Amino acid sequence: MTDPGKPSHFIRDAVVEDLRTGRFPGVVTRFPPEPNGYLHIGHATAICLDFGMAAEFGGHCNLRFDDTNPVKETQEYVDQIMRDVRWLGFDWGDHLYHASDYFEQLYDWAVQLIKAGKAYVDDLTAEQMAEHRGTLTAPGRESPYRTRSVDENLDLFARMRAGEFEDGTKTLRAKIDMASGNINLRDPVMYRIRKTSHQRTGDTWCIYPMYDWAHGQSDSIEGVTHSLCTLEYEDHRPLYDWYLEALGIFHPRQIEFARFNLSHTMMSKRKLLTLVEDGVVTGWDDPRMPTLAGLRRRGYTPGSIRDFADRVGSAKAPKTVELGHLEHCLREDLNKRALRRMAVLRPLKVVIENYPEGQTEELEAVNNPEDASAGTREVPFSRELWIDEDDFKEVPPPKYFRLSPGVEVRLRYAYIVKCTGVEKDAAGNVVAIRCTYDPDSRGGDARGRKVKGTIHWVSAREALPAEFRLYDTLFTAPKPDDAEDFKAVVNPNSLETAQGWVEPSFRDADADDRFQFERVGYFCVDSRDSSPSRLVFNRAVGLRDTWAKIEKGMSP
């Protein structure tokens, strides 16, 4: 089952050990999102781990919504999360659950703890409770209500459920240890009163369980063996274990791993929400967002994200992965699969003086040199073409292989042309280039001469207009989370728009289709704004650009 050649990680090791010792007969995991926001690339690594471990050991992974706080959660988020998990390539089968499915059971168990003298109803206000909790270095003080009788607690708790008390006036707390060095053990709240209707249970409940009280028990009910979560819950494990022990029910094992940060972005759902609400981005699915919805719209493939998760691995040390790592995974995936096309982002007119006016010929172009089965297509060629501004320089710098006066270049899949002159406007800007072509140099001819440069082009008459959205990182700082104000390091140039042309084969492109625009980058048809009459492409990631590096090295 496990690939022996592949390095393991501490979680896999732990699972293998648990199976070997018989602590658990099999493996059941769970991915437990709270439906209060969109899933992001950080969640993706958790999803890959949860579903991946289950699959690797022949078990299954549950999708469980941690819907214990109705004031923050919505059905829209639930729907989006399911869509994103599926898109990533995972299937929970019949194992779709909600913490809210267990509210009745959780209530019964709370009663059981009260009867055992391990839980009590507290009347302290939130402020008083904070005050009693002590500090990191000083122990807390016990609540005056801590010694209520079992009967009184039972009566009060039933009346809490019945709605007799207002929000915030009472809580149910576990009776553990107010002097514990672990603050989570200083009589944690199990239930709070929230007279808010819940997206699934409606107004059935006005008391809602806290995360700690719901999570472990939900795991137990579902027979989860390995409850994998992030490091900030490490301090909660003693409480997780305490509840399970106190109840005497099936005891899953919680294992914590480090969440990761991606450079030039941030994952806090709260901050992402702020970006959406403040209009810094156009929504949760803005292609600059690290959300799965944003990455999908940007042009990322699920496979590239899974590969990325795999490479980043699972460990306990905090890490900030360079964005380049993610981009590499995308390029590698798309290089194998994306169809090649030609597009001109910043158009410059080329007139081929010795090519017959009114003539058009169809030239054969390879769809994907990495995949012969992708076949070929025909692209029209004519006297007037568009090329990219970057591919012409009146005064070429050293090592510039592209077009300039007197120089020859290959037009991809077409002819070799030579620049014979330029046309300028009154201000001296180059507005068109004049060339001659060599009729014997047609693309595909084996006897072809070699020239230093090859550039891409689109026939002006047949070209389709298109908008290109060129993205840069949303933040200028490598670690925006470290900034005092993350809004201050938002990149003002994270989106640049260009109007250009694409070859006519795009007449019937579908939303989310991804292509490689030769020599430029990988682009995706925008799922929101693109239409047959107005094509819009998002740049997922540029091609590696060694010329840009050379050029950068030349300028001071």
- The residues annotated as belonging to the active site are 34, 259, 269
Q: What residues numbered 166-205 form the site for RNA, per CB under 7 A?
A: 167-171, 181-184, 189, 192-194
Residues 460-489, mask of contacts with RNA (x by CB under 7 A): ------------------------------
User: Considering only residues 196, 282, 335, 527, which one is a binding residue for RNA as defined by CB under 7 A?
Assistant: 335
What is the four-CA torsion angle of 84, 87, 90, 91, rounded to 10 degrees? Answer: 90
Cα dist. 348→139, 341, 395, 416, 486 in Å?
A: 73, 18, 16, 18, 39
Q: How many residues bind RNA (CB under 7 A)?
A: 99
Q: Is 155 in the site for RNA (CB under 7 A)?
A: no
Tell me if 340 contacts RNA by CB under 7 A: yes
29 scored as a contact of RNA (CB under 7 A): no
- Based on the shown chain and the rule CB under 7 A, indicate whether residue 126 belongs to the binding site for RNA: yes
Strand partners, 209: 191
For residue 314, give Cα distances in angstroms to 10, 48, 256, 366, 432: 7, 11, 10, 40, 55
Matching residue, tokens 């050379």: 550
Query: Which range in 282-290, 298-306, 327-335, 529-537 contacts RNA by CB under 7 A?
Result: 327-335
CA nearest to 114, candidates 206, 246, 251, 217: 246
Q: Dig out the tokens for 53 from the structure.
A: 């471990």
Which part of the chain contacts RNA (CB under 7 A), choosing from 18-26, 230-238, 295-303, 468-476? 230-238
The answer to whether 372 contacts RNA (rule: CB under 7 A) is no
Q: Is 34 in the site for RNA (CB under 7 A)?
A: yes
Per CB under 7 A, contacts with RNA among 391-420 are 399-402, 410, 412-414
Residue 303 near RNA by CB under 7 A: no
Q: Which of 356, 444, 465, 532 binds RNA (CB under 7 A)?
A: 444
Least Cβ distance, residue 543 to RNA (angstroms): 4
Question: What's the token pair of residue 58?
Answer: 């022949």
Least distance (Å) between residue 531 CB and RNA: 27
Per-residue x/- mask for RNA, residues 256 to 285, rule CB under 7 A?
--x-x-------------------------
171/265 with CB nearer RNA: 171
Smallest separation (angstroms) from RNA to the CB of 427: 26
Task: State yes or no: residue 450 binds RNA (CB under 7 A).
Answer: yes
Pairing of strands 226-230, 253-257: parallel
Q: Which is nearer to RNA, 50 or 286 (CB)?
A: 50
Question: Which residue among 56, 152, 234, 513 contacts RNA (CB under 7 A)?
Answer: 234
Q: Is 518 in the site for RNA (CB under 7 A)?
A: yes
Binding status of residue 315 toward RNA by CB under 7 A:
yes
Task: Report DSSP letters for 128-154, one per residue.
Answer: HHHHHT--SSS-----TTTT--HHHHH
Pairing assessment for the beta strands 464-471 and 535-542 based on DSSP bridges? parallel
Positions of E strands within 405-534? 408-411, 416-424, 430-438, 454-455, 458-459, 464-471, 495-502, 514-517, 521-525
Is the distance from CB of 387 to CB of 350 less than 8 angstroms? yes
Alpha helices in 24-65 (DSSP H): 41-56
Inter-residue contact 454 to 525 (CB < 8 Å): no
> Closest CB to RNA among 380 and 453?
453
Q: How far is the CB of 394 from RNA (least distance, A)?
A: 15
* Of positions 89, 303, 313, 380, contacts RNA by CB under 7 A: 313
Q: Is 554 a binder of RNA (CB under 7 A)?
A: no
Of 317, 306, 329, 268, the closest CA to residue 51 belongs to: 306
Instruction: Say how far apart CA 269 and CA 481 lie, in whole Å.
Output: 12
Structure tokens, 323: 């964005």
**Tokens read off for 301:** 């493939």
Stretch that binds RNA, among 164-172, 373-381, 429-437, 463-471 (CB under 7 A): 164-172
Q: Which stretch binds RNA (CB under 7 A): 328-336, 347-355, 457-465, 498-506?
A: 328-336
**Site stretch for RNA (CB under 7 A), options 109-117, 297-305, 421-429, 441-449:** 441-449
